[in-house]
Amino acid sequence: MHGADIQLKEIESALLAEELTFHYQPKVSFLTGEIIGCEALLRWLNPDGTVILPDDFLPQAESSGFITEITAVMLPKLIEDIEALRAVKSDIQVAFNISALDLRSPYLVKMLRSFIGGRRIDPGNIQIEITETAVVDASERVRTGLLDLVALGIELVMDDYGTGYSSLEMLSRMPFSALKLDQGVVRRMTEDAKNTHIVRSSLYLARELSIKTVAEGVETAAIYAFLLASGCNEAQGFWIGEAASRDDFVALCKQRRRWPASSYGLLYNAWVNHISYRQKVLDLVHTLMLTKPGEWGQLPKMELSHSPARCRLGQWYRDASHGGGSPDYMRLEGPHRLMHAAGESLVRAAQSNPEPDVVIKAIKAFLEYSDVVDAEVSNIVERWMEKSLRQSLRPDDE
């Protein structure tokens, strides 16, 4: 049986005969190198021994609306599986794919509310993956459905990011906690720099929006290493493991295997966030100089916090030094604080006193502090790289 040959009737009887099941594909954290969760993927186990993949039967189920029936029958099975997985790892994060149709009626939210209310799972045990195309023409009902899930404490993940056209708009309109980079884009990074550009700019965007990133389709150690060094948070793909039955996945979790990990991603993300702050301050000042005060109300909204504690770099050195890191992280503290104070004064000067000399002086002070911070960060990066090279991050040849 293949693709278009499969009739809806056959799918209906397969669901009834309990031939549908979930397989679980591991997801690894770049920070710890450990399995932190998995994605639940539907499998049709045909009695003749063959396994039918979702792409061969879900399109029919989707276009006929039968998908909601599948979700309603399979969700309790998923919850049972999560209970079994929790016995091995209580904070396991299981990502579950839903279609937009599932959100049009309240049954999904109702079922999840009862599973969580009955304490069978924690909201943190389940994540909902939805593709942007599914929510692109989001009706109010779909939107409300998504918000209800978030109110339950469930994280929303935007699936297959990088393939559609309105991802950005969807990301800003809905409370997504993570974006999942499309596996095709991830795999094709080795063929075409455009794909690498899409991946890098998606990681950048997620950083700006303070949401997590998961890369799908990680098939080689090289791609894994590149994503780790680029500050991506989690990886999923054949190089780590393919989807396996629940029991096989439980066995894999019990092995406590580790993949390469580094906290460099945290430093990298903090660094980029810091550079972005400097750029935002300068862009804003430049814009203010080019517009009349009466027009400032028409300027684009911008998230700009001058508090060093809200800056990712500020958070990073505090964590790094508390985590038993070298005390010279604290050398960043003074200059970093002064730089943010100078940034705030600069913006205030540009807003209150368009006298060029005053603003120029404030720009100078801001950039001077910023140079000191940059030099400190460069030192830390240099030492970090040196340490990594000496310890050799490279995994042993298998």
Using CB under 6 A, list all residues that contact ligand C2E: 25, 41-42, 53-55, 58, 67, 97-99, 129, 159-160, 183, 216-219, 236-238, 243
| 97 binds Mg ion per the rule CB under 5 A | yes
The least CB distance from residue 330 to ligand C2E, in Å, is 42
Q: Which does 213 bind (CB under 5 to 8 A by kind): Mg ion, ligand C2E, none?
A: none
CA proximity to 19, closest of 60, 40, 47, 41: 47
Distance, CA of 147 to CA of 291 (rounded, Å) = 38
What's CA 67's distance to the chain center, in Å? 26
- 175 phi-psi bin (left φ>0, alpha ψ -120 to 50, beta other): beta
Nearer to Mg ion, 132 or 376 (CB): 132
State both tokens at 99.
């279609």
The least CB distance from residue 130 to ligand C2E, in Å, is 9
Nearer to ligand C2E, 185 or 373 (CB): 185
Q: Which does 238 bind (CB under 5 to 8 A by kind): Mg ion, ligand C2E, none?
A: ligand C2E
The least CB distance from residue 166 to ligand C2E, in Å, is 18
The least CB distance from residue 185 to ligand C2E, in Å, is 12
The least CB distance from residue 32 to Mg ion, in Å, is 22
CA proximity to 151, closest of 205, 113, 198, 189: 113
| 159 binds Mg ion per the rule CB under 5 A | yes
Distance, CA of 173 to CA of 42 (rounded, Å) = 29
Site for Mg ion in 193-232 (CB under 5 A): 216
Q: Which does 135 bind (CB under 5 to 8 A by kind): ligand C2E, Mg ion, none?
A: none
Nearer to ligand C2E, 99 or 370 (CB): 99
CB 27 within 8 A of CB 234: yes
Q: Which residues would be at the binding site for Mg ion (CB under 5 A)? A: 97, 129, 159-160, 216
